[in-house]
Amino acid sequence: MPGAHRYDKELVKHFVVVHWDQRGAGKSYDPDLTASDLTTQKYVSDTHELVKRLKDRFGEQKIYLVGHSWGTALGALTVERYPRDFYAFVGLGQLVNPREGDKITYVQVLEEARERDNAEAVQELEELGPPPWNTVEQVKVIGKWNAEFGGTTHKALPNPLLTMALSPAYSVRDAYSYIKGSSLSVHLMMDDLWRIDLFEQVPRLEVPVYIFQGHHDYQTPWPLAERYYEALVAPQGKELAWFEDSAHVPYAEEPEKFDREMLRVLQETYQKGQ
């Protein structure tokens, strides 16, 4: 939501664009939430409730669902359960199986550290050891070096705090809630996230599927996203669009290409979905 003013300028000419601060995040932050409040199943239920409200408000039978990172897993699980609500599903930086993804990321990041002769990174990564990991602190180690080596963002992007400060949708209090909510959600949801496996949970989707994947992405590693795309059964069509100059945030790293791809999704699916 706090980046909408920067990245949605073209999309709003063609779509009603809705950003959602989900339960525990940003404007929906609540310090009293517990692990039982933040579960994948409750998020799927929340998503469905929001979709119903949007359909009613705008008089539409279907909408488009675009998920990013964790939102791609949430989106896939929701679309699998309620396919009649959607024209298409778009996954940006597709999360498939965090445990399996961690293995790919660790090998890549450690290899990169050795190639760069980065002694500090090599030491920290070897001390961390390969997954499975069980704490947020362990995940932060791999996350730090993955970001350092370009597996999170391939291009330099505007400072997220500055972007947030310039957002017409966010106040200073909202920015504080964004930071606190991110920390709370990660700590409370880690075990639930590690149980996600879309190969098993969402082997088939009954809507057109588009996966937009950065070719430098090792946060939701592209080799695993590609494997999921190849395995996914999608009778109404599927497509994997590579963003060659992006890592994990293709909408921000290649915004013009992202806009073009979204317009193509609209052109290919809207009339068919009527």
In order, the DSSP letters of 114-150 are HHTT-HHHHHHHHHH-SSP--SHHHHHHHHHHHHHTT
Name, in order, each residue with C-beta under 8 angstroms of 8's C-beta and a sequence gap of 6 or more: 17
User: What's the rounded mean pLDDT across residues 222-233?
Assistant: 98
**Whether pLDDT at 173 is above 90:** yes
The CATH number of residue 48's host domain is 3.40.50.1820
Answer whether residue 226 is part of any domain. yes
pTM over the 0.85 mark: yes
CA angle (221 as vertex; 4, 256 as ends), nearest 5: 35
**Whether pLDDT at 273 is above 80:** no
**Whether pLDDT at 60 is above 80:** yes
Name, in order, each residue with C-beta under 8 angstroms of 110's C-beta and a sequence gap of 6 or more: 122, 125, 126
Query: Which ranges of 194-249 does DSSP label H, i.e. alpha helix?
Result: 198-201, 222-231
Q: Are strands 238-243 and 86-92 parallel, antiparallel or unpaired?
A: unpaired
Six-digit token string for 196: 């996600």
Percent of the chain exceeding pLDDT 70 equals 99
Instruction: Tell me the average pLDDT of the chain.
Output: 95
Is it true that the peptide bond before 132 is cis, omega within 30 degrees of 0? yes
CB 194 within 8 A of CB 99: yes
Q: pLDDT value at position 162?
A: 87
User: What's the rounded mean pLDDT across residues 215-222?
Assistant: 98
Q: Residue 159: pLDDT band by 50, 70, 90 thresholds?
A: confident
Q: How far apart are CA 221 and CA 93, in angstroms?
A: 8
Q: Residue 271: pLDDT band by 50, 70, 90 thresholds?
A: confident
Helix/strand/coil for 63: strand
Answer whether residue 66 is part of any domain. yes
Q: pLDDT value at position 161?
A: 83
Q: Residue 272: pLDDT band by 50, 70, 90 thresholds?
A: confident
Name, in order, each residue with C-beta under 8 angstroms of 250's C-beta and a sequence gap of 6 or more: 92, 93, 212, 213, 214, 243, 257, 258
Domain count, the chain: 1
Range of the domain at 221: 4-99+154-269
**Whether pLDDT at 274 is above 90:** no
Q: Residue 156: pLDDT band by 50, 70, 90 thresholds?
A: confident
Six-digit token string for 218: 């090792």
Answer whether residue 110 is part of any domain. no
Q: Residue 29: pLDDT band by 50, 70, 90 thresholds?
A: very high
Answer whether residue 248 is part of any domain. yes
Answer whether residue 168 is part of any domain. yes
Answer whether residue 129 is part of any domain. no
Answer whether residue 146 is part of any domain. no
Answer whether residue 230 is part of any domain. yes
In the chain, the N- to C-terminal Cα span, in Å, equals 29
**Whether pLDDT at 158 is above 90:** no
Q: Residue 229: pLDDT band by 50, 70, 90 thresholds?
A: very high
